Chains A and B, each alone.
Chain A
């Protein structure tokens, strides 16, 4: 009973501070929304990359075929530019307004038909993800056009081996059109599908990354309030006074642990409900698994909060440790960005942090649609960290 009383006291103290609501609920929701949007949200908006196009050969038949291919792209969105804007293209790419640009030279179409091998200019930075994507997509479309033209030439050769062609350019144009048409439904397709066994078949979306990510970040960041309570109690000597009350040291420690754990669990509940109903992240497809993950994360954060409270002597330290842990564990654990886009060393180190296992456990449910057994390993590892930090907290805990 003493444990519950101490926990309730901690919770009341935190709840009375209205500004703690900002850190516990409002900020994680705001960050989930914003960061999710930056990662593509629920993919309802046009996420195609802007590519500038200066077309100096707008009347050319093959050029028109190429621009038609570009306009149908699912990856890039053509932004028409005037030739006068050519000098500002680099600035537009540097500022992020364009991901790349294409300059079609004058008489491109005629030069192609006359086998003059004209060069088309692409301005892009292939060392960046956006630039690489643009380069790949533009070259795929150019290849399609040139392949269609090559088809026409092969056809022309075969035709001329039997009979002269009155208008070779018209013949080539027919072949190119037929070829482009055939490319709309080629014999061999490449299909891509995520392997998911549950109800969530939508694959990766912005909020599937940021909802659990921001939950981890602010569950740890929210420990500022919890650690501060302990520091203030020590400074005000209320902990010392508690020792003369009929309450054991173990009860005091467990009471504080329970308080922080319940606080984080409450915070998680709000964020997961918001994730489920507002951000369309399917936590409820495995409700028991989600509940177990919430419990172990709350216990882990409770232990971590107790540890920070134990090692902090001044209020500033109760802010510093949670902030540093928040930045370290969430960045390394893949809460800010998926670990598979990072370097090998970062990826390896990341998987030694509890943050990566929390992300893994939640993503097994919401993204992979896996069953209860899939969260057992992540949950067990997070519990090991919880026990470790609880042990360290008890070791370092000072009542005076």
Chain B
């Protein structure tokens, strides 16, 4: 009964502390919200990235044999209405001006069309190069511009290669090559090329594009989003566990613990009360964060039984680990470093801040399992269907680490109070 009183007192104190409430609920939702806003949501829609300021230097000169300038055709593609939301094109007279505009940050990227662009298409041994110059700090502008320019250039290259190959094959066998044949071949290839562009789904007509099968708990993107939010929930649950255990240090500093010790209350009862308070507090935090993340970010937490088992194990682990960490702390001044530093390092090593990254080094994936955070994240990923396998082993490991942490922490505290 006394243990429950202590637990109730601790919880009351936590709810009255704006700091605790902020760190339990506001901070995880805030960070998740930032990631949500940064990447245009978790729902599967495309990210509406910022419009790219593009410079265009078209130095292409007309060639009498070709009715149109290829440079102008390429410029039309870049300035087409369909790309207006993505590209804001500004014309520059020369490369020097475009480079300066990039250095002045007026544009992120520029396309330099050389003067011999059209002639390189029709002259047999001519070579030329389009140049994309870009702000090195801009990571997307150049690849996006290249992906728009490349199909056009590939079509021209393909047409020329087709004409060259056909002529070479005919000449090899001594057949006649009409002077108009290379032009006809190039035109035919160009028509074929235009008919073989990706459709509305982004796939070529000759490609059957399949989206990876959704996991049993929902779509891949939803599951990944669940992984990101789970990372935040785990980080801040451990934070709450340590913060609640910190009350022992605070009461020691404030001398209230000494006063409590002279009452007929054993150290075991005091510590039991702290653990019960911590478990209830983290449980409420996890449930509320899951509900709010479903509401605000559309997270589908999947099978309630699996998720319930994983969450309960994580709550126990975070509570035990909080007691364990704080048992090494001597005064309130050191708690800041544990709350801000040690938990952040363990969170980082446990992979909580990198849940959205794919193709992580294998060594890193293994290293995460040397931290309790890593096991918690693994369990959530298994429950969400991001990873394949059962949740039993991670749940058992979490429970074991939680129990050992709690026993060691309680023993160290008891020795201190003795």
What is the distance, in angstroms, from A347's C-beta to the closest C-beta of chain B? Answer: 4
Task: Please determine whether A342 and B136 come into contact, CB atoms closer than 8 angstroms.
Answer: no
Task: Please determine whether A340 and B209 come into contact, CB atoms closer than 8 angstroms.
Answer: no
Task: Please determine whether B120 and A194 come into contact, CB atoms closer than 8 angstroms.
Answer: no
Task: Please determine whether B135 and A368 come into contact, CB atoms closer than 8 angstroms.
Answer: yes
A285 at interface by CB-CB < 8 Å: no
A7 at interface by CB-CB < 8 Å: no
What is the distance, in angstroms, from A332's C-beta to the closest C-beta of chain B? Answer: 7
Chain A residues with CB under 8 Å of B354's CB are 34-35, 38
Q: Which of A127, A175, A348 has the most CB of B within 10 A?
A: A127
Task: Evaluate whether A188 and B386 lie within 8 angstroms (CB atoms) in the complex, with A123-B210, A125-B212, A155-B169 already known.
Answer: no
Task: Please determine whether A142 and B50 come into contact, CB atoms closer than 8 angstroms.
Answer: no
Task: Please determine whether A147 and B47 come into contact, CB atoms closer than 8 angstroms.
Answer: no
Q: Which of B176, B201, B348 contacts A30 (CB 8 A)?
A: B348
Task: Evaluate whether A343 and B40 lie within 8 angstroms (CB atoms) in the complex, with A124-B209, A158-B181, A195-B134 already known.
Answer: yes
Task: Please determine whether A343 and B134 come into contact, CB atoms closer than 8 angstroms.
Answer: no
Task: Please determine whether B131 and A193 come into contact, CB atoms closer than 8 angstroms.
Answer: yes
A380 at interface by CB-CB < 8 Å: no
Task: Please determine whether B334 and A195 come into contact, CB atoms closer than 8 angstroms.
Answer: no
How big is the B interface, by class?
Answer: 35 or more
Chain B residues with CB under 8 Å of A140's CB are 150, 154
What is the distance, in angstroms, from A257's C-beta to the closest C-beta of chain B? Answer: 20
Chain A residues with CB under 8 Å of B189's CB are 147, 150-151, 154
Chain A residues with CB under 8 Å of B176's CB are 162
Task: Please determine whether A341 and B139 come into contact, CB atoms closer than 8 angstroms.
Answer: yes
B358 at interface by CB-CB < 8 Å: yes
Task: Please determine whether A139 and B204 come into contact, CB atoms closer than 8 angstroms.
Answer: yes
Task: Please determine whether B206 and A120 come into contact, CB atoms closer than 8 angstroms.
Answer: yes
B64 at interface by CB-CB < 8 Å: no
Say whether chain A's binding surface is mostly helix, strand, loop, or mixed: helix
Task: Please determine whether A327 and B30 come into contact, CB atoms closer than 8 angstroms.
Answer: yes
Task: Please determine whether B206 and A117 come into contact, CB atoms closer than 8 angstroms.
Answer: yes
A232 at interface by CB-CB < 8 Å: yes
A379 at interface by CB-CB < 8 Å: no
Task: Please determine whether A194 and B135 come into contact, CB atoms closer than 8 angstroms.
Answer: yes
Encoded as 1 (CB less than 8 Å from any A CB) or 0, chain B from 146 to 186 comes to 11011001101110111011101110010110000100010
Task: Please determine whether B136 and A151 come into contact, CB atoms closer than 8 angstroms.
Answer: no
Docked Cα-Cα span, A27 to B337, in Å, equals 11
Task: Evaluate whether A151 and B137 lie within 8 angstroms (CB atoms) in the complex, with A30-B345, A343-B38 already known.
Answer: no
Q: Which of B150, B207, B342, B364 has the most CB of A within 10 A?
A: B207
B residues contacting A by CB (< 8 A) are 17, 19-20, 22-23, 27, 30-31, 34-35, 37-40, 44-51, 99, 102-103, 108, 117, 120-121, 126-142, 146-147, 149-150, 153-154, 156-158, 160-162, 164-166, 168-170, 173, 175-176, 181, 185, 188-189, 192-193, 196, 198, 201-204, 206-213, 215, 220-221, 223, 243, 332-342, 344-345, 348, 354, 357-361, 364, 385-388
- In the assembled complex, 18 residue pairs joining A and B whose CB atoms fall closer than 8 Å, in A order, are A27-B341, A35-B354, A37-B361, A91-B388, A96-B360, A139-B198, A154-B188, A182-B161, A186-B157, A187-B127, A190-B150, A320-B22, A323-B340, A324-B27, A324-B30, A327-B34, A343-B38, A343-B47
A residues contacting B by CB (< 8 A) are 17, 19-20, 22-23, 27, 30-31, 34-35, 37-38, 49-50, 89-91, 93-96, 99, 117-128, 130, 132, 135-136, 138-140, 142-143, 146-147, 150-152, 154-155, 158-159, 162-163, 171, 174-175, 178-179, 182-183, 186-197, 203-204, 221, 224-225, 228, 232, 314-320, 322-324, 327-328, 331-332, 337-348, 363, 367-368, 370
